[in-house]
Amino acid sequence: MAEFDTVLIRYGELSTKGKNRKDFTKKLLQNIKRMLKQFPDLQYTRTYDRIYIHLNGSEDIAELRRLLSMVFGISSFSFTEKVKADLEVIEATALRMAQETKLSTFKIVTKRHDKTFPMNSDGINRAVAGVILKNTDHKVDVHNPDFKIRIEVHEDAAYLTSEKIPGAGGYPTGINGKVLLMLSGGIDSPVAAYELMKRGIEVEAVHFASPPYTSDNARKKVMDLASLISIYQGRMKVHVINFTDMQLAINKAAGDPYSITLMRRMMFRIAEKVAENNHCLALATGESIGQVASQTLESVACINSVIHMPVIRPLVCFDKIEIIELARKINTYEISIEPFEDCCTIFDPKNPVTKPVNEKAEAYESRFDYAKMIEDCMNSRFTEVIHPAVQEEYL
């Protein structure tokens, strides 16, 4: 049986980085250690193009595999056997791996990092394949093999594996700055958080609540979503805004069809202030163009005009089916569809305007002192630091 003693981590897009590469790989190692903190006896080695995790033999391999697959910045990883960088030892280990599988066709893939090794990569491939062909019934298929044995030869050791496990890709979360995400209890915004983290961005969240029109269950739903998604970065700050008085004032001043436009404009104004107070470089939303009335290009332009901070919309070109599929993948979908309404749906107008203009929005806004109400919202906000959900419960 395979005797795994090392996990070999391969980088993804980090390979395109130049002078910043060291910062990216250092952050990736930090994120890996955080994700695997339940395994305190692991040892780590970081090199230019690999991270090696040295096992002590008592770890749960399936759990290690699951957790590593959620670390952004990893292109792929393999559970490997570390052996002496000696051709006979390499051949014997590869032969044993081949004998342990019932698959028929194979291919040897060698990467020779140590250029002083007396045989080049192609020579190693041929030598190892020859031993397997001589001692088993397996056949070589270089185009579509049933399995591959991968060999990496370094100065101090060689690493062999028969499996290359896909990683999560992207950049290490937190390496590309921080944004403030407008987090509702719906399907879209948790998926947006996932996509942002995948691009190396740390995510804080702002949530707008309207008690007593929105319930404690609605707020718990949002915190549960934050807890689920926070596993990718370790924790998440959620800033909660009491939006009730503002929404009542908006409905009184505008009503149909401009209330949703004014509501979003006020949310963006408040979110920008929260972002500035917490050193976030941009706002983010789960909006997708044309999905609802407030997400037409005209609405986006009218709403965006009230702030100066950039707004990132990672789902802008996703359709709803794609968003739902990704929500299922990251295990947020079932919570998102729980029947507890947020402030957007409680006060949802029957006939929202799809092509709002700034002049009309500003005219409605002049009917109440929204600046004072924004100040009140900021003064009454509170922040929760959310940690990853209990894995057995959701994952």
pLDDT of residue 4: 87
369 belongs to a structural domain: yes
**Same domain for 153 and 270?**
no
Chosen domain end from 123, 140, 166: 166
CATH code, domain with 106: 3.30.2130.30
Domain count, the chain: 2
- Same-domain status, 221 and 273: yes
For residue 15, pLDDT over 70 is answered with no
Q: Which of the listed residues 166, 190, 222 is the one where a domain comes to its end?
A: 166
Please tell me the predicted confidence (pLDDT) of residue 48.
83
Task: Tell me: do 182 and 280 sit in the same domain.
Answer: yes
- What pLDDT does 394 receive? 35
Same domain, 62 and 91: yes
Cα–Cα–Cα angle for 141, 142, 148, rounded to 5 degrees: 85
293 and 159 in a common domain: no
Q: Are residues 131 and 233 in the same domain?
A: no
With residue 237 as reference, give the H or E element that holds it: strand 236-242
> Which structural domain range is residue 299 located in?
178-394
Give the pLDDT score at 199. Answer: 96
For the chain, give the mean pLDDT.
Answer: 91
Q: For residues 246-254, give the mean pLDDT.
A: 92
Q: Edge to edge, what strands does the sheet with 382-386 contain?
A: 311-312, 282-284, 178-182, 202-209, 236-242, 382-386
CA distance 394 to 334: 10
Residue 339: Cβ within 10 Å count = 7
- 342-394 pLDDT per residue, tens: 655 556 667 788 899 999 999 999 999 999 999 999 999 999 999 997 543 33
Task: Confirm whether 339 is domain-assigned.
Answer: yes
171 found inside a domain: no
Q: Does the residue 73 lie in any domain?
A: yes
Average pLDDT over residues 36-58: 92
Q: Is the dihedral of CA 292, 293, 295, 297 positive or negative?
A: positive
Note the maximum CA span of the chain: 87
Same domain, 10 and 126: yes
CA atoms within a 13 Å half-sphere pointing along the CA-CB vector of 25: 21
Same-domain status, 162 and 184: no
CA–CA separation, 317 and 329 (whole Å): 19
Rounded-to-integer distance, Cα 174 and Cα 132, Å: 45
Task: Quote the pTM value.
Answer: 0.90
Residue 64 belongs to a domain = yes
Domain boundary among 114, 137, 166: 166
Quick one: DSSP state of residue 388?
P
Q: What does the pLDDT read at residue 343?
A: 58
CATH code: domain of residue 342: 3.40.50.620
Instruction: Count the Cβ atoms, other than its own, within 10 Å of residue 381.
Output: 18
Beta 6-11 vs 74-83: how paired, if at all?
Answer: antiparallel
If asked whether residues 152 and 203 sit together in one domain, one would say no
Residue 173 lies inside a defined structural domain of this protein: no
Domain-embedded: residue 232:
yes
Residues 201 and 339 in one domain: yes
Residue 80 scores a pLDDT above 70: yes
- If asked whether residues 82 and 183 sit together in one domain, one would say no
In this structure, the answer to whether residues 218 and 367 fall within a common structural domain is: yes
| Residue 102 in domain | yes
Q: Which residues have a Cβ under 8 Å from the Cβ of 11 and sit 6 or more positions away?
A: 25, 28, 49, 50, 73, 74, 75
Is residue 266 pLDDT above 50, yes or no?
yes
* pLDDT (mean) for 39-50: 92
